[in-house]
Each structure stands twice: as structure tokens, then as C-alpha cells.
């Protein structure tokens, strides 16, 4: 390791000036524990997909907050923030351009409703919305289309997840599910 490198609880941070390529302003945080996401190329089929399995379970067990005709909304089991929701079509389809017009319309409608509900129950300051399309784009479950709705607060950014590999979530998933489901319009 170069002299100007630092180590934080086993995570190595190196100065970009030490690399053979043209230096840039970025520092590199090496996280080899995330290599599994790059190397593991297996994707679930309809029989092993958690997004295909969830609608067959009761809402509380599956963390489902709302069901539509073509899509449903559930809490992310590994949330970035409290209230991190996913909107999934019932059909096992991988990419947005493979979704039907009805699925796309309902995903959009459920996303708008989710934003309104989350804002009303958590007074968040903003949202990150997104779909990672394919493994190369960062989709953990690339085989089943899903949209992320991540509520954000002005002061929710910190280094705890990076340095301590810990995410502080102030509410339990079950409590968040009940709160959002209870505020969802009929």
C-alpha cells in the first residue's frame, strides 16, 4: 500500500495519484466484499424469483403495501433508507421495454401514489427513483423488472455505511410496512 493510503476498519482507501494511469481527483474505496455482485451471474427464474413469490404470500410476510391489477408495491428487504419501496409487475419480465402498456401505466401510477404516501407519513425532503436494467447496470435481481422509490431527507447522508458497513434505519420493516399500507388510499 502506498504511503498516503489509509485504512479504515479493514477498508483500504488509496490516493489516485499512485496509479499508473493519469491521476484524477477521485479517491478509491476498495470494497472486495461487493465482488459477489459482479461475479455471480445467476438470476432467478419464475419459480425462484422473490418478486414472483411475494404476491402469493400474505402482505405482512411479503412486506407488500399495495396491490394493483398488473403491478404491486413492497418494501425493499435491504433498504437504503426507511420506506425504500419497490414497484414490480406481477409478470416475470426483465426489462422496461418488455413491459406491456398496462404494466408501465400501473407502475407509473403506483410510483406516484407511493411518493405521496411516503411524503405524508415520513415528511421526506425528496426521492431517488430508478430502475437498474440488467446486471451490468447494477440490478441485483435483473430477471424481474422493479422500480426503486427511495425517500431522502436533508440530513440522511453520512459515512456510516462506507466506513462501518452499517446502515442506520430508525424503524423496523414491519412498522414501516404497516404505516405505509395504512396510509395507502383505498
Active-site positions read 146
The runs of H, that is alpha helices, within 16-141 are: 35-39, 50-53, 59-62, 101-122
The candidate with the shortest Cα–Cα distance to 75, out of 110, 66, 47, 43, is 66
Helix, coil or strand: residue 148: strand
Residue 83: Cβ within 10 Å count: 27
Do the strands 28-29 and 11-14 form a parallel or antiparallel pair, or are they unpaired?
A: antiparallel
Cell of 160: 456510516
Helix, coil or strand: residue 180: helix
Amino acid at each position: 500500500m502506498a504511503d498516503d493510503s489509509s485504512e479504515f476498519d479493514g477498508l483500504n482507501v488509496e490516493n489516485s495519484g499512485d496509479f499508473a494511469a493519469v491521476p484524477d481527483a477521485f479517491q478509491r474505496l476498495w470494497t472486495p466484499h461487493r465482488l459477489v455482485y459482479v461475479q455471480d451471474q445467476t438470476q432467478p427464474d419464475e419459480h425462484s424469483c422473490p418478486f414472483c413469490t411475494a404476491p402469493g404470500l400474505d402482505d405482512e410476510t411479503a412486506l407488500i403495501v399495495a396491490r394493483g391489477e398488473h403491478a404491486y408495491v413492497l418494501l425493499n428487504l435491504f433498504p437504503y433508507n426507511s420506506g425504500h419501496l419497490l414497484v414490480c409487475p406481477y409478470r416475470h419480465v426483465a426489462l422496461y421495454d418488455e413491459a406491456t402498456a398496462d404494466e408501465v401505466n400501473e407502475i407509473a401510477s403506483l410510483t406516484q401514489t407511493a411518493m405521496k404516501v411516503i411524503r405524508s407519513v415520513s415528511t421526506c425532503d425528496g426521492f431517488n427513483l430508478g430502475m437498474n436494467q440488467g446486471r451490468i447496470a447494477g440490478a441485483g435481481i435483473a430477471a424481474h423488472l422493479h422500480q426503486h422509490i427511495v425517500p431522502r431527507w436533508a440530513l440522511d447522508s453520512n459515512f456510516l455505511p462506507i466506513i462501518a458497513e452499517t446502515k442506520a434505519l430508525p424503524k423496523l420493516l414491519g412498522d414501516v410496512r404497516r404505516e405505509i399500507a395504512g396510509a395507502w388510499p383505498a
